[in-house]
């Protein structure tokens, strides 16, 4: 159906919701490297992973070969509360920029948690419930993942225990209260409730915590409590799989209107939204059916793809999780204060890392003042107040559209708008008051954390 007039928003019907997730690993010639047991450095077995994760999720984690995995009906029913998500043609932004480029964004912020994370939260909570567990534990940094998980757990009647990085717990009380409203138990991390928390508190008195430390606490809490498992909001291949709902819907919408993106852009923290958005398109590229340019955008203050190394590393500070081969800055790397909490992780999804390593994806890093300038421009033209994380993708989409203005090319640019920024008003305040700064780590600083990575051969 080419050349149909393109509406501002393309909404699919509920019965057009994808019934299966797409596992891009099945089409990768070079599979992502396996997770390793941190003690033996041997690939993790299903049995080992099942101590930490629900069995069905551990199976998904290890599955490199099944291209399509059925979405259980109960998850589809939950998805219907806030999906299909619209694919928006950014007519107003195009006009403001005066660009011949056609700009589209897939908007994932239309739910109370305000981000795409709910897509995987409901899947992980569902499999935990189905396994007969009492509850799940997790970490949250800025709070988006904890919020999404508490919504999913409330819906299914599961207990939800969230370790929230202490500085966010104190600085983002509203996120914390949203989680508690949905029934979650929220603990500032490092806490005195776990051995690893006590150890970190003793070693670094007064520390305000980090994501890696909160992960260690959540994993310990799950493995020492009967009937609990740990769940994670990004990085893992299972999370990327669940997030392919974003890309599958996008692809259906594009096909309905004869839209063929030239480039697909997404912000990359642990890689789940970007991986989810691009997977079905990447599948076509891997199978030689179509070509697209894929761009991962990361903060200059936490540049795992653009300045990291591709190696096995710890996923958490306490080194209790499996080792993953990924582009990483080293698990002890602590990014400088930047306001995109969801992009502060030291590593990157092993699937995206392998695709990047093989040249299928390019990456760019951007500085936060330029990111907020793009966010402001977007808010003023398209109306939506974007999350700081999402605004990284907006920055590069605008840059690319401005290049088209110079060259006269009518490229079709698609990006992922992962969420809204209502809980990020302190960051917006800093930007509005011109008090925001850009910090880019030096090579020497990066070397310190990279030198402390595990030696695996």
Closest CA to 324 of 108, 95, 43, 105: 43
| Among 147, 272, 328, 449, contact with ligand PLP (rule: CB under 6 A) | 272
Containing H/E element for 345? none
Report residue 130 CA to chain centroid gap.
25
Minimum distance, C-beta of residue 451 to ligand PLP, in the bound complex (Å): 26
Evaluate whether 121 touches 152 at the Cβ level (below 8 Å): yes
| Among 234, 279, 353, 449, contact with ligand PLP (rule: CB under 6 A) | 234
| Among 111, 119, 189, 418, contact with ligand PLP (rule: CB under 6 A) | 418
Of 369-408, which residues contact ligand PLP (CB under 6 A)?
Answer: 387, 389-390
Burial of residue 255 (number of CB atoms within 10 Å: 0-12, 13-18, 19+) = exposed
Binding mask 128-167 for ligand PLP (x = CB under 6 A): ----------------x-----------------------
Residue 106 sits in the site that holds ligand PLP (CB under 6 A): no
Of 177-216, which residues contact ligand PLP (CB under 6 A)?
Answer: none
| Among 273, 304, 365, 391, contact with ligand PLP (rule: CB under 6 A) | 273
Q: Which residue has the tokens 């970190």?
A: 200
* Nearer of residues 219 and 387 to ligand PLP, judged by Cβ: 387
Minimum distance, C-beta of residue 419 to ligand PLP, in the bound complex (Å): 3
Residue 342 sits in the site that holds ligand PLP (CB under 6 A): yes
Which distant-in-sequence residues (6+ apart) come within 8 Å of 47 by Cβ?
Answer: none
Minimum distance, C-beta of residue 271 to ligand PLP, in the bound complex (Å): 5
Q: How far apart are CA 11 and CA 9, in angstroms?
A: 6
Q: Which residue has the tokens 């059925």?
A: 70
Minimum distance, C-beta of residue 232 to ligand PLP, in the bound complex (Å): 10
* Nearer of residues 273 and 368 to ligand PLP, judged by Cβ: 273
CB environment 26-64: b (16+ within 10 A), e (fewer): bbbeeebbbbbebeeeeebeeebbbebbbebbbbbbbbe
In degrees and rounded to multiples of 5, residue 338 shows phi and psi of -130, 160
Instruction: Report DSSP letters for 16-37, one per residue.
Output: GS-SEEE-GGGG-SSPPPPPB-
CA angle 26, 279, 287 (to 5 degrees): 55
Q: Which stretch, 130-138, 170-178, 196-204, 272-280, contacts ligand PLP (CB under 6 A)? A: 272-280
Of 296-315, which residues contact ligand PLP (CB under 6 A)?
Answer: none
| Among 83, 117, 344, 346, contact with ligand PLP (rule: CB under 6 A) | 117
Containing H/E element for 152? helix 144-156
Packed helices 195-203 and 211-223: angle between N→C axes, nearest 10 degrees? 150
Q: Which stretch, 192-200, 202-210, 263-271, 429-437, contacts ligand PLP (CB under 6 A)? A: 263-271
Minimum distance, C-beta of residue 350 to ligand PLP, in the bound complex (Å): 13
Minimum distance, C-beta of residue 222 to ligand PLP, in the bound complex (Å): 20
Residue 270 sits in the site that holds ligand PLP (CB under 6 A): yes
Q: In the beta sheet, which residues pair with residue 70?
A: 20
Q: How far apart are CA 30 and CA 100, in angstroms?
A: 37
Binding interface with ligand PLP (CB under 6 A): 115, 117, 144, 234, 267-274, 342-343, 387, 389-390, 418-419
């Amino acid at each position: 159906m080419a050349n149909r007039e393109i509406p501002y928003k393309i909404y699919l019907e509920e019965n057009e919701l994808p019934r299966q997730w797409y596992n891009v690993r099945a089409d990768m010639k070079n599979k992502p490297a396996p997770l390793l047991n941190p003690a033996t450095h041997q690939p993790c077995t299903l049995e080992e992973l099942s101590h930490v994760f629900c069995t069905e999720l551990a199976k998904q984690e290890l599955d490199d070969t099944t291209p399509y995995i059925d979405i259980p009906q109960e998850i589809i029913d939950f998805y219907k509360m806030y999906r299909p998500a619209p694919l928006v043609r950014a007519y107003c932004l195009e006009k403001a920029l005066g660009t011949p480029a056609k700009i589209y964004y897939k908007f994932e912020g239309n739910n109370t948690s305000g981000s795409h994370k709910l897509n995987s939260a409901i899947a992980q909570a569902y499999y935990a419930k189905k396994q007969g567990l009492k509850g799940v534990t997790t970490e949250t940094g800025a709070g988006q993942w904890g919020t999404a998980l508490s919504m999913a757990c409330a819906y299914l009647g599961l207990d939800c225990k969230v370790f929230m990085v202490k500085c966010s717990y104190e600085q983002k009380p509203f996120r914390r209260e949203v989680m508690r409203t949905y029934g979650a138990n929220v603990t500032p991390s490092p806490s005195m409730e776990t051995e690893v928390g006590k150890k970190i508190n003793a070693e670094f008195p007064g520390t305000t915590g980090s994501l890696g430390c909160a992960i260690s606490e959540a994993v310990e809490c799950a493995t020492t409590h009967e009937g609990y498992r740990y769940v994670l909001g990004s990085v893992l291949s299972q999370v990327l799989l669940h997030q392919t709902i974003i890309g599958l819907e996008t692809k259906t919408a594009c096909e309905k209107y004869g839209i063929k993106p030239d480039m697909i852009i997404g912000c990359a923290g642990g890689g789940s939204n970007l991986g989810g958005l691009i997977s079905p398109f990447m599948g076509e590229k891997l199978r030689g059916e179509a070509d697209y340019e894929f761009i991962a955008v990361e903060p200059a203050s936490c540049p795992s793809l653009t300045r990291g190394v591709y190696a096995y590393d710890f996923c958490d500070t306490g080194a209790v999780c499996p080792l993953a081969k990924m582009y990483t800055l080293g698990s002890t790397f602590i990014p400088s204060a930047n306001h995109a909490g969801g992009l502060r992780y030291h590593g990157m999804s092993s699937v995206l890392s392998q695709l990047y390593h093989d040249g299928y994806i390019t990456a760019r890093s951007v500085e936060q003042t330029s990111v907020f300038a793009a966010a402001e421009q977007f808010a003023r033209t398209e109306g939506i107040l974007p999350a700081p994380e999402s605004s990284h993708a907006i920055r590069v989409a605008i840059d690319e559209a401005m290049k088209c203005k110079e060259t006269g090319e009518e490229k079709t640019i698609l990006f992922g708008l992962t969420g809204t920024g209502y809980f990020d008003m302190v960051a917006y305040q800093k930007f509005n008051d011109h008090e925001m700064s850009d910090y880019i780590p030096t090579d020497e600083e990066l070397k310190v954390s990279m030198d402390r990575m595990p030696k695996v051969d």
